[in-house]
Structure formats: structure tokens, C-alpha cells
Homo-oligomer: A and B are copies of this chain.
Amino acid sequence: MAAPKKRSGRRAGPTSSRQLILDASRSLFSAGGFEGTTMRAIAHASGVDAALIHHFFVSKEALFTLAMRDAFSVIDLVPSVVDGSPERTGERLARAFISYWERPDVQPGLVGLLRSATTFEGAATAIRDFLGAEVLRPVTTTLGHGQSQLRASLVGSQLLGLAVMRYLIRSEPIATLRPEQVVFCVADVCQHYLVERL
């Protein structure tokens, strides 16, 4: 058996303090959005001094960007959408998108991002990237049906609206459909925007 760790009585070192701050701010930003989260609350939740947060991250904007980055930069939809029968491309995109949002480790970060998009330009940029250049544009470019930017933008508008209604304002019946029902509801529309003549 491993020996129990000793509590040294020393303060956490800079690396772990930095991580504590990031973890606390990710959770607070997710719940309250950019505007609704104060540096003082982050300091309190992470058990460090507010001055230390400023020392590490300079500004609330920079901290938000770092804390939220993981939520929207890890997804590569290209293989899961492009591989497979061409007539089910839209269904695969809808499923990949919804599966990603349903992940308990991902959803709070994405909701926090949506919540903040109205008050913090950095969050709006992140959503534009998430829906555009970073995630959907590579899909439409790889599919090769032309007008890749417009296609990414249109399918992004459908998926964004779906996410807002299901996860943010929780509008019925979309909010309580099973994930696979949501996928089938929007699969044809995704197929249209990705593949068919616009």
C-alpha cells in the first residue's frame, strides 16, 4: 500500500495555484458567464489572493480565454463526419455535435461560453471560431462541395440555435428530447447545408 501523503503545511506552489485558479474560474464562468463572475469570487473559490490571479493572468479577459479554451479547441469533427456514406453526412455531423455538447465534462464550458458571448467580445470570437474556422470550416472544405465558408456558416447557425434552445434557454420540446431524437430532427437540414445545392 502507498503511504498516505503528508500535508506539508506549506502553501501550494505556483504551478498548483495556477491550476486551482483555472479550475475555479472555469466552473464560475460556466455558471455565471463572464460578466457575472468577479475576480474576488474566483480568488475566494480557489483559495488564493486576488493579487496572485492578476500576477498570473493579468486580466479577467485573459483568464476567461485560458479557462474556456479547452471547451472548444479539442474537437476535430472531420474524420467522424467525412468518413461514411455520403447521404448520411448531415446525420453524422448532427450526432458528433450533439454528442460533444452532451458530454458532462464539456457542456458547462460551452454553456458558459454562450452565456458570455453577449457581454464579452472574446466569447463571441470563440463561438465564431468554434462554429467557423476551427470546427465547421474544415468539415465543409474537406467535403468539397464548394462555398465552404457559407456552408459552414449556415450549418453553424442551425447548430448554434439548437444549442441555445436546448442548453441555454431550455425551450420545450427541444430541451427534453433524447439526444438521438435531436440528431434525427436536424439531420436532413445539416445534410442540405453540407452537401446539397444552396
Contact = CB atoms under 8 A, between A and B. Distances in A.
A153 interface: yes
How many copies of this chain does the complex contain?
A: 2
- The interface residues of chain A, by DSSP majority, are classed as helix
Contacts of A185: 150, 154, 198
B154 A35 contact: no
A173 B153 contact: yes
A118 B168 contact: yes
A166 B174 CA distance: 22
Contacts of A73: none
B164 A119 contact: no
A172 interface: yes
Interface residues of A, number: 41
A114 interface: yes
Contacts of A173: 149-150, 153
A174 B192 contact: no
A81 to B, nearest CB: 19
Contacts of A43: none
A88 to B, nearest CB: 17
Contacts of A192: 188-189, 192
Given A149-B172, A154-B185, 11 more contacts: A33-B119, A35-B36, A36-B119, A118-B118, A119-B119, A132-B171, A132-B172, A154-B174, A157-B162, A157-B164, A157-B165
Interface of A: 33, 35-36, 114-119, 124, 127-128, 131-132, 149-150, 153-154, 156-162, 164-165, 168-174, 185-186, 188-189, 192-193, 198
